[in-house]
Structure 1
Amino acid sequence: MLQPRDTPSRERRELGGLWSFRADLSPGRDAGFAQRWYRRPLRQTGPVIDMPVPASFNDITQDPSLENYIGWVWYEKEVLLPLRWLRGEPAPRVVLRFGSAHYYSIVWVNGVQVVEHEGGHLPFEADISSVVQGSPGTLCRITVALNNTLTPHTLPPGSIQYMTDKSRYPKNYFVQNIRFDFFNYAGIHRPVVLYTTPAAYIDDITVTTTSSDSVGTVQYQVSVVGSTANSLSLSLRDQEGKVVATGDGPVGELKVLNPNLWWPYLMHENPGYLYSLEVQMQAQVGGALLEDVYTLPVGIRTVHVTSTQFLINGRPFYFHGVNKHEDADIRGKGLDWPLIVKDFNLLRWLGANSFRTSHYPYAEEIMDLCDAYGIVVIDESPGVGIKLPESFGNKSLQHHLAVMEELVRRDKNRPSVVMWSVANEPASELPPAAHYFKTVIAHTKALDPSRPVTFVTDANYALDHGAPYVDVICVNSYFSWYHDPGHLEVIPLQLTAQFENWYKTYQKPIIQSEYGADSVPGLHSDPPMMFTEEYQQAMLREYHSVFDKKRKEYVIGELIWNFADFMTNQGTTRVLGNKKGIFTRQRQPKAAAFVLRDRYWKIANESSCLPPVITSHSLFLK
């Protein structure tokens, strides 16, 4: 699926702003369908409120029932379309696209259903040409019904629990149970756009890259829809606009002499180098000559995994990075450009070269900046909380396979994405996990043979049924926090044993994919005690001492949990969310941020081929 872009042949219109919104408060949450709210303007069905898009709806109002609402909500937006989108021989194709909406979506245009989609973190779209071009006038009324209910077969899974004790709960009272530690924000979380293409158009582009002996190779495959009689020409341009290679036809390869390779941040003086691949199509349709143009950013780089190393462009790469969440005050998981830019500035200030998209695919806008800045990404599916036996059944498996197809199709061309992660902390000790993860990992490798595949485990090394199928072991552990809380002295022994057990069993490189401790900003204690900033610092230093020994052998990375504090369900162990961030939810540094910054810049100076001393300012801004 190509990301919508403005080109000489395509137009794009963003539909962000205020939408009409109504939650279905009927006992069965089904009044909207019974009364066909999609058949008329939403304001005519009952009370509506303004709702910003993109944003989660949970924290926008002062209504606590909306904060924890489970069920169907309804959105609506009315827009006027340009006449040029509705006329012509042939008329252009008009597409409605959602960057993401959590979780299950049904979309109508002018009362006509155009698409359904399951999943809360990946884009979906519908060709609405026949609907809008067949309607009188230029008004386009977009109605979205959105349900955030999670079941044992969704990704992520969950379950609905009905409280039947009438002495304790009101009639029809239920709660959503989840098995992951972040808030189940819901809403239209990413941009909604209308865009056009010619009636015959470039539907998809796939690129893979290699380099050797001062020659870079870009292998490409282009698919066209709407015409079998067409011609394709391709031009690869460098950042100065110079054409460095050309080609034609739907399949081929482009050769680049002395290419500028795509390098990670802090691994090269010019990280994140992107070429522009311009694809031009001409097609004869109904006597008319149609042209379509699409430009795709391309980074030339290679990825290879050995039993002890992770190689990018043939050089050892060490992940010193973070885990993140799409999470912020008020907007929840809604796309927010100021926050995105702030986070990338903090990542580079920190000296982080990588992050994992814990625990779901992140917005395309975030991924664009990873490509441009050279931030390496472990791209993770929403397979978090797969704990129940029924979540390993065929229904769940088939959905997981479909999600991986959507994820790979979206991010396959991104140089920043160096590995796929199919799940986080599943119950991989259960016997059904063997077939489940063997199938999901094999499917992902078939979709994209060019990248390694992993999943993130917290299971016992001897009982993990999924580990034999991954290329890299990613393990989470919280010694002296969830295990032996308060006992920092056990970390060296337990962490060393963890690494040695996993490597001895599987002979695969290891990433410490999570570790950390909660700290409440401004809470202090000496000697360090749990939840203080000093304890978080001390825990990090204990882990780091072991990392420094094992990264000389087979440990290839460390990703702190977490980049910033984030919201969770309320509970007795959560004070306004999870406090394991090295930054607050408002992106202010805790003491641990400075510990990590010193460490990451030290590692960068040791491992890079840059001038002898890198400062945090010399490469911070490109």
Structure 2
Amino acid sequence: MHEAEPAEALAYYEDPGPGTGALPPRAWWAASDARRVALGGQWRFRLGDRADTYDDGFAAPGYDASGWDLLPVPSHWVLQGHGSPAYTNVRYPFPVDPPYVPTENPTGDHLRAFDLPDDWPGGAAVLRFDGVESCARVWLNGTELGTFKGSRLPVEFEVGELLLPRGNVLAVRVHQWSSGSYLEDQDMWWMPGIFREVTLIERPEGAVTDFFVHCGYDHVTGTGTLRVDCEPGGTLTVPELGLDIPTGEPVIVPVEPWSAERPRLYDAELATEGERIPLRIGFRSVAVEDGVLKVNGRRIVFRGVNRHEFDPDRGRALDQETMREDLLLMKRHNVNAVRTSHYPPHPAFLDLCDELGMWVIDECDLETHGFQEVGWRGNPVDDARWTPALLDRAARMVERDKNHPSVVMWSLGNECGTGAGLSAMASWIRERDPARPIHYEGDLSCADTDVYSRMYADHAESELIGRRTEAPLADAGLDERRRAMPYILCEYAHAMGNGPGGLSEYQRIFDTYERCQGGFVWEWIDHGLRRTAPDGSHYFAYGGDFGEELHDGNFVCDGLLFPDRTPSPGLVEYKKVIEPVRITGDAERGQVTVTNLYDVADLGGLSFRWTYEVDGEPADSGRFEVPATGPGESALLELPRLPADRAGDEAWWTVRAVLAEDTAWAPAGHEVAWAQFAAPRQPAGRAHRGRPHSPRRAGGGLITLGPAVFDAATGALRTLAGTPVEGPRLDVWRAPTDNDRGMDWFAESRLDRAWRTAGLHRMRHRVARVAVGGDMLTVAVRVAPAAADHALHTVFTWTATGDRLRLEVAVTPEGAWSVPLPRLGVRLGLPGQLERVSWYGAGPGEAYPDSRAAARIGRWSATVDELQTPYVRPQENGARAGVRWAELTRPDGSGLRIEGEPFWLTARPWTTEALDAAAHTCDLVRSGRLWVTLDHALQGLGSASCGPGVLPAHRLDVRPAAFSFTFVPLGGTAGPTAPTDLEQQ
């Protein structure tokens, strides 16, 4: 790499420094009695394709911009019809040539005219920008204020002497690419613009320059220590605590501590000669003690998510209603922690975290992951020229967010490699705020951190770490220090597409080992941008949909929420896995054990209810009286005695923990935790369902058996009670999930590639034998892919009794199989008019072998459309687990009932092949048929899209298998009829 030019020769947007002209960073507060003018709204805007397309004459007073476009601020101009967004995960979308950026550098000029309020008093004032990507130059009334970088961090300029009563003109030039772009490679859309608020704030004489609220809590004495450092000095009043004290002086008072579970805040007011600021103060202390991270003296467990700021229409320009919606959804799904990946969020979000209760790891606006592509050569965190910018970013984060009790750790950034710049940041933060630990994942030595943090470590390695028996570091001193640290997974359970699997196994590790203090699922929301298809339907776009030269496809869609903030099945599963109350039942002994897994709270805020269902029908219900059990403690409850069920009935107890009263985040009755366990079952007597039928050959090359008609040559079922049927055929293929597709950089995780190499997506079916004998029809089929000698020898045995048609399937592998199967079952094509599916089994949502904790046994009903899960990139979805019976019906109630030992049910209006071929949901077109798959077994999901694959217990290895189903017509003709065309049904 060539030598960089002297700093003075660089354009400001390429200089590695943080910028010029800004005031020192300081705390953020939402309101005070000082006047504010919000400068959002419609701005004049023009876009140039280079930094120098236009001169800076537009900033001069009197410039006529009436011919420019209008652009809303806050916004990203690429989402307002000017250019296009682009997505990359690791790779920079420009040459790695720091600090230089391409000549092709989209640059947006923004103009905003404004008047001061009539009662504006004059004097000092600051102009504040809360977020601009990626570099800006600012003028007010023709005077340049300065330049800045650090897209997701605030900057302020002194402007009081420049303000006019009327006709102020604010000019801002924003460059998409700058030296700052090298520090902002954060696995997200590249979307330039002024995307957070712009505000003019009065600074009266004697107004607050900055303040720092120190609120420690002593869990031994139950007292809080409060001191507020303020410039200039003033007073602090906390009416509830009877405090009216000078700033700078500490006071110790009895208080209730703040925690994510009990976010106790005290209203206060900070007053100086020139300003009064309302505050909400939370007392809490964070420390690493004896190798464990503790808050207020108690070990905590992060049940967390990584959260990018995103909206499918507005990008990162979020309003407070959306921020609150995010937090309400988190709280309602038992999430208690947020890592602000990979930049500080809008400051109002942290106010909401204080209010509603959330542990927060606040992460600096820093990632240089793209340097990995060039062997980390030139990495800014190991280049002294960039250290001022790194320290500037650290200071702007810490100073802005230091007064939030929800922030329990500072994070230096993400995926930056290692270097002296990170050490300098850590040293500065420790000196400025020694009361919070420091986090960074990218240095396995943990030289600058207080916790041992990893991404995507698998279950086995995490268990070793939990035992403090992980592989040692070469440096004995660093190894000893790291081994004594608490362990968190700052990213795990990659929630891309259908998944993640293996959550329950991770949670077992967190619950077993004191050192393992939870983790943060990657990530909260899919970053799909809403678009309209030619037919008017909506879909969500991802990388490559905007003509990007480089992109990483749908890797930007890896969240627990769909882009429109609909919870995915993954979020429902996560809620169940991390529930803060563990309920276990022993029906034989008639007992229930309730264990409190909260970090702080007792169970006094919950009500416990039980129901008893027989064959899915409610039989009885009631409430348990549970004492206010403390954290880590258990209560033993007695089940009520109920009359014995009939022989053969399947009965289940369900115990639910719900909110006893309304909270700030959910109403009374909201379900927090639940468990289900089976009641003892009496053996059923032998059922008599009518006389058996014998198969007979009929005209036209057909065989009849009870209510069914078969093809005599192939043995294929043609109709059932007059309803046409395609199949059943042995089915082993599924539209690969994102986790099946794995990681491009880790070939062993590419399960779909192995499946396709083995030919599982193109199996051929050779009928070896169709035999009629006694009371059965037997069809032997060899199922195998072209160009291979491995196969699945399959025998279908059909019998009929009354109007019931029974199928027994026996599968025997032949040859050498080197891969697990995606699924093992049979697929049928049925009339598309079968629009509703009712079933008794696990529900109501989809489930897979390693992602079924949230499925509970009951009777459920849904339309076929409701059974589909609209993953942004279509893939295998919609399986229902543990199905005992299912009914597929038309609006008039006629249709088909399917019974079997607990099986997996999938029903779709399109084929698996169509699902496999689709790139977006709008590509899926109804086929006119209903395609039903009845699976004996399914391969698990894992999280190999970025993490470990399927655990051995959930692999569908090839081995002999036998399973059966019974088909019963509903409201149809009992006798056989000739087949009819499926499209006419």
Q: TM-score range by the shorter chain?
A: 0.7 to 0.9
Q: Does 1:31 align with 2:53?
A: yes
Identity of aligned residues (%): 23
Native 8 Å contact 1:83 1:138 kept in 2:
no
Q: Kindly provide the CA deviation profile for residues 231-277 of structure 1, in whole angstroms up to 9, marking residues without a partner as x.
A: 72321233xxxx521212x4212332x21211112xxxxx2222233
Q: Does 1:253 align with 2:277?
A: no
Native 8 Å contact 1:4 1:195 kept in 2:
no
Q: Does 1:48 align with 2:44?
A: no
Native 8 Å contact 2:86 2:551 kept in 1:
no
Instruction: Quickly say closer, same or farther: Cα 1:130–1:394, change in 2 above 3 A.
Output: same
Match of 1:114 among 123, 131, 145: 145
Match of 2:515 among 532, 550, 554: 554
User: Could you tell me the TM-score, scaled by structure 2's length?
Assistant: 0.50
The 2-side partners of 1:319 and 1:41 are apart by 55
Q: Kindly provide the CA deviation profile for residues 279-320 of structure 1, in whole angstroms up to 9, marking residues without a partner as x.
A: 2223xxxxxxxx422233221111111243211111111111
The 2-side partners of 1:147 and 1:495 are apart by 43
* Correspondences of 1:444-459 after superposition (within 5 Å): 444-457=429-442
Partner secondary structure for residue 125 of structure 1: strand
Letter in 1 for 2:429: T
Match of 1:501 among 470, 490, 494: 470
Q: Does 1:75 align with 2:110?
A: yes
Native 8 Å contact 1:13 1:194 kept in 2:
yes
Q: Does 1:346 align with 2:323?
A: no
The 1-side partners of 2:72 and 2:658 are apart by 37
The 2-side partners of 1:342 and 1:123 are apart by 24
Instruction: Quickly say closer, same or farther: Cα 1:191–1:450, change in 2 above 3 A.
Output: same
| Equivalent residue number for residue 172 of structure 2 | 144
Native 8 Å contact 1:516 1:580 kept in 2:
no
Give the length in aligned residue pairs.
Answer: 524
Partner secondary structure for residue 538 of structure 1: coil
Q: Kindly provide the CA deviation profile for residues 358-415 of structure 1, in whole angstroms up to 9, marking residues without a partner as x.
A: 0001001111101111111100001212533321200222211111111111111110
Native 8 Å contact 1:181 1:569 kept in 2:
no
| Structure with more of its chain in helix, by fraction | 1
| Equivalent residue number for residue 23 of structure 2 | none
| Equivalent residue number for residue 611 of structure 1 | 603
The 2-side partners of 1:585 and 1:358 are apart by 17
After superposition, the CA RMSD in angstroms is 2.7
Match of 2:234 among 220, 232, 235: 232
- Post-superposition shift, 1:575? 4.2
User: Could you tell me the TM-score, scaled by structure 1's length?
Assistant: 0.78
| Equivalent residue number for residue 929 of structure 2 | none
- Post-superposition shift, 1:509? 0.6
Q: Kindly provide the CA deviation profile for residues 451-488 of structure 1, in whole angstroms up to 9, marking residues without a partner as x.
A: 1001123x6xxxx35x122101111016xxxxxxxxxx
| Equivalent residue number for residue 588 of structure 1 | 566
Letter in 2 for 1:621: A
Instruction: Quickly say closer, same or farther: Cα 1:502–1:43, change in 2 above 3 A.
Output: farther
Letter in 2 for 1:7: S
Native 8 Å contact 2:495 2:521 kept in 1:
no
Match of 1:200 among 206, 211, 215: 206
Native 8 Å contact 1:307 1:554 kept in 2:
no
- Post-superposition shift, 1:613? 7.6
Q: Kindly provide the CA deviation profile for residues 170-223 of structure 1, in whole angstroms up to 9, marking residues without a partner as x.
A: xxxxxxxxx542112221121111221312322111121223323211112111
Native 8 Å contact 2:509 2:516 kept in 1:
no
Partner secondary structure for residue 572 of structure 2: helix
Partner secondary structure for residue 501 of structure 1: coil
- Post-superposition shift, 1:576? 4.5
Match of 1:218 among 218, 226, 241: 226
Native 8 Å contact 2:186 2:342 kept in 1:
no
Native 8 Å contact 1:71 1:148 kept in 2:
yes
Instruction: Quickly say closer, same or farther: Cα 1:616–1:357, change in 2 above 3 A.
Output: farther
Structure 1 runs (4+) deviating above 6 angstroms are 65-69
The 2-side partners of 1:120 and 1:342 are apart by 24
Instruction: Quickly say closer, same or farther: Cα 1:436–1:97, change in 2 above 3 A.
Output: closer
Greater RCO structure (CA 8 Å; 6+ sep): 1
Moved more, 418-427 or 212-221: 212-221
The 1-side partners of 2:363 and 2:287 are apart by 19
* Correspondences of 1:78-227 after superposition (within 5 Å): 78-85=113-120, 87=121, 91-132=122-163, 135=164, 137-151=165-179, 154=180, 156-157=182-183, 179-212=185-218, 213-224=221-232
Letter in 2 for 1:401: L
Q: Does 1:540 align with 2:568?
A: no
The 1-side partners of 2:526 and 2:275 are apart by 45
| Equivalent residue number for residue 17 of structure 1 | 41
Letter in 1 for 2:41: G
The 2-side partners of 1:353 and 1:197 are apart by 37
- Post-superposition shift, 1:351? 0.6
- Post-superposition shift, 1:437? 3.0
Native 8 Å contact 1:42 1:76 kept in 2:
no
The 2-side partners of 1:607 and 1:411 are apart by 26
The 2-side partners of 1:70 and 1:280 are apart by 46
Letter in 1 for 2:195: H
Letter in 2 for 1:76: L
Instruction: Quickly say closer, same or farther: Cα 1:546–1:251, change in 2 above 3 A.
Output: closer
Gaps of 5+ in 1: 159-178, 225-230, 266-270, 283-290, 479-490, 521-532
Letter in 2 for 1:610: D
Q: Kindly provide the CA deviation profile for residues 410-447 of structure 1, in whole angstroms up to 9, marking residues without a partner as x.
A: 1111101000000212223xxxx2x3333221121011
Native 8 Å contact 1:503 1:509 kept in 2:
no
The 2-side partners of 1:356 and 1:339 are apart by 17
Partner secondary structure for residue 411 of structure 2: strand
Letter in 2 for 1:515: Y
| Equivalent residue number for residue 172 of structure 1 | none
The 1-side partners of 2:282 and 2:435 are apart by 14
- Post-superposition shift, 1:350? 1.0
The 1-side partners of 2:471 and 2:425 are apart by 22
Gaps of 5+ in 2: 1-25, 88-92, 94-103, 474-478, 529-541, 583-595, 607-656, 668-985
| Equivalent residue number for residue 32 of structure 2 | 7
The 2-side partners of 1:232 and 1:413 are apart by 17
| Structure with more of its chain in strand, by fraction | 2
